[in-house]
Amino acid sequence: MGKRVRLKQGDIFRIPLDERRFGRGQIIEPGIVFLMTILKTPVEAHFEVGEIDTRDILLCGRTTDAEFFHDRWHVVGNLPLPERGIIPRPCYKLGPKEDARLVDFDGKFLRRATAFEWENLDYQNSASPGLYEDAFKAHHGVVAEKPHFAKYHIEHMRAQAALVLG
């Protein structure tokens, strides 16, 4: 049986990559569905939490605590969040095309979406922690890359944020 882990802002966690290496991530906004990052560079089993560059982001998005609950991802420390602006906060489209709306990163209604926004923005979503783990493993050649992994890369999130400024 799994156990609930109370995740806190800034928590650093470890995820498996292969037999000897791990990835690291950080909790950005805790919650039932939380925002987290996974860092680019893998490490050996033992690493100093204080030496982590939390700006070295590969993946970013919302997910759940399933891998923590099942004791596959482990909190190993806590660090301050990267400075403001490192993690983008894009707007999203909401609703069907004929009634498309624009919402901010937190889901607050802003206005009707333009045709350009409808065609180019993502819907707000969350993904399983396993998807993020697989995307990390694919980036490092451990598993095959899948086209939908690109949606969870920080560059995609930054490009989405650049579509609607202000």
Which pTM value belongs to this model? 0.92
Q: Residue 165: which pLDDT band, with cuts at 50, 70 and 90?
A: confident
- Residue 2, pLDDT above cutoff 70: no
**In this prediction, what percent of the chain has a pLDDT beyond 70?**
98
Per-residue pLDDT at 153? 98
Q: Enumerate the domain spans of the chain.
A: 11-163
DSSP string, 2-44: -------TTEEEEEE-SSSEEEEEEEEE-SSSEEEEEESS-EE
